[in-house]
Amino acid sequence: ITNLQKSDLPTGRLEIRLGGVSINGLSESYQDGTELLALMGSGGTLEIAFRNGNASRTIGIPVGADVHVVGRA
């Protein structure tokens, strides 16, 4: 879970980067992906998730790592 709210994100297509990993776009729900995904959680903040798992452990990114969100044309 990040501290980024929807209003903090660029409009349009997004690329979310953390560590050496990139996620293209936001998913609507946890069921949308089979692997790593990003979505707006029920608390209104950007979440990085791994379906049926732990994203931090799965990709080896520690809790508290920087998350960069870039708008794509």
Indicate the pTM of the whole model.
0.84
Q: Which residues contact 49 (CB under 8 A, 6 or more apart)?
A: 30, 33, 36, 37, 38, 39, 55
Please state, in angstroms and as integers, the Cα–Cα distance from residue 31 to each residue in 21, 34, 68, following that order: 20, 7, 23
pLDDT on residue 64: 86
Rounded to an integer, what is the distance from CA 14 to the centroid of its chain? 10
Residue 43 and residue 66 in contact, taking contact as beta carbons nearer than 8 Å: no
Q: Which residues contact 21 (CB under 8 A, 6 or more apart)?
A: 36, 59, 61
pLDDT on residue 62: 86
pLDDT on residue 70: 93
pLDDT on residue 40: 94
Average pLDDT by stretches of 10, the chain with 73 residues: 90 91 91 85 92 85 90 80
